[in-house]
Amino acid sequence: MPASVVLGAQWGDEGKGKAIDQLANESNWAVRFQGGNNAGHTIVLGDTTLKLHQIPSGVTSPHCNLVLGDGMVVDPWVLEEELDRWHSLTEERPEGKRLFISERASVILPFHRMYDSADKVVGTTGRGIGPAYRDRIERVGIRFVDIPFVIGDSDKIDETVSRMNMQLDSVGVNQKVERKDFVADLEWIMDRFGEAIRPTGAMIDKALKNGENVLLEGAQGAMLDIDQGTYPFVTSSVTSRANATHGAGIHPGHVNNCFGISKAYTTRVGNGPFPTELPYDTGPGNHMAMVGHEFGTTTGRPRRTGWLDMVSLKDSHRLNGYTGIVLTKLDVLGGLDELKICTGYDLDGQIIDYMPTSSHDLARCRPIYERHSGFPALEEQEWIEMAELSRSDRKGFEVLPESALSYVRRIEELSGIPIVSIGIGPDRRASIASLGGPFDIDPEVTTF
């Protein structure tokens, strides 16, 4: 395999952290290639719940090297908070030893968070991600490799502080960037993370040439891609497979597998069209939200919920060419009498099987559903026991309740993508893998 990609196949929040955590056992490197701390990955290890925003999910595998890649925008203050939490849990300080920050990654500064606070339309996380990417495109942003040069250039400091304050004023933000604070922040970043800042693309390339396995870890989801998503209600980076190697600093020929992560239903955080959306306060939509604990890892905002949208999943596959789907949260649907899958849209009386480019058109689309029988609700421990039986008796998906298995097989038929793993609970053990597939591995909790 030398390189595999894991991507969100929907609007993000699909449960990528658990899948990445499992694959990291078989990987020497785990690389985040885009986004910043607008992402949130949750890993449940027994009684411990680990919430990550920038550190790759492979951190739970002690042998796995970790990279914050070229295509990322990194908030050093949030990174320090994550590393301090990790240290309190494990006593490990991985930075500079097995966690490395790309020289080419952009720095999120307090200015970017201030500027982002003015957003009233898209519904961003307010973490400064978009403004940091904007500075990169305008070629005025600061990369980690640039920090020492900026510190040593008084004119550059004055020019940057002046530009930042003019931009804050232009969007009605009253806060200001002080010169002394700006310099102090840059000096702190170098003092805190200098040993971890490396030419990571060359390091990953060398590892691949040595036959090591590399896991490329995406954030957000396919429908939030800046180019291919539901613009303008998207994130600020390219979330697709095409950017996985580019954002890591290697060529695409290294990739053998691309796994798309999809919930057994659909959720979305923030604004934007959502054809299969259900009422949040009642019925199946409320069931998904409450049973699935649908609150954003990064923002804490309630996630909007709806039936599985096969139109968007097939568009996602068109963009990314998934070799397998990891279906998450199937257990959440337990207890519903009827399940639905959206197989097409009605757009002003015309039946279509693709997502319109315009968000205005997508907002007018009405879902066309096929209906399936529901299956019983089970306790978390019952799902875990079912997953363990699937491994011990080598039964794979056949341990699922008949109607649940029928639902899974129909998703495979409609999408044209094999399902390689099914999540039936938050615990790491609560996964069922297709026999002989890439996720057919020992799920025991890592000792760290």
If you write DSSP's letter for every residue of 228-286 in order, what string do you get? Answer: TSSTTSS-SS--SHHHHHHHHTS-GGGEEEEEEEEESSEEE-SSS--TTB--SSSHHHH
Q: Catalytic residue among 41, 53, 112, 254, which?
A: 41
List phi, psi (to 5°) of 143: -90, 165
Any catalytic annotation for residue 13?
yes
- What does the mean pLDDT of the chain come to? 93
- Coil, strand, or helix at residue 18? helix
pLDDT at 261: 97
- The residue type found at 436 is G
How many Cα atoms sit within 13 Å of 145 on the Cβ side? Answer: 9
pLDDT at 118: 84
Written as one string, the DSSP assignment of 165-178 is HHHHHHTT------
* Residue ranges of domains in the chain: 3-76+200-433, 106-195
Contacts 24+ apart (CB under 8 A), 151-159: 151/183, 151/186, 151/187, 151/190, 157/182, 157/183
Parts of the chain with a pLDDT under 50: 445-448
Decide whether 3-76+200-433 matches 106-195 in CATH topology. Answer: no
CA dist., res. 35 & res. 133, Å (int): 9
pLDDT at 39: 73
**260-297 pLDDT, tens per residue?**
999 999 999 889 999 999 999 999 999 999 999 998 66
- Coil, strand, or helix at residue 417? coil
CB atoms inside a 10 Å sphere around CB 120: 8
Note the pTM of the prediction, 2 decimals.
Answer: 0.91
pLDDT at 46: 63
CB atoms inside a 10 Å sphere around CB 270: 20
**104-141 pLDDT, tens per residue?**
999 999 999 999 988 766 666 788 999 999 999 999 99
The residue with tokens 């020992």 is 442
Asked if CATH classification 3.40.50.11540 holds for the domain at 106-195, the reply, yes or no, is no
Describe the crossing of helices 310-320 and 241-248 by its angle, rounded to 10 degrees.
Answer: 40
> What CATH class has 3-76+200-433?
alpha beta
Give the distance between the most distant pair of CA atoms in the chain.
70
Contact present, 371 and 407 (Cβ < 8 Å): no
CA angle 10, 360, 367 (to 5 degrees): 55
pLDDT at 113: 94
pLDDT at 448: 47
Task: Identify the helix (H) or strand (E) that includes residue 51.
Answer: strand 48-52
Any catalytic annotation for residue 346?
no
**390-431 pLDDT, tens per residue?**
999 999 999 999 999 999 999 999 999 999 999 999 888 999
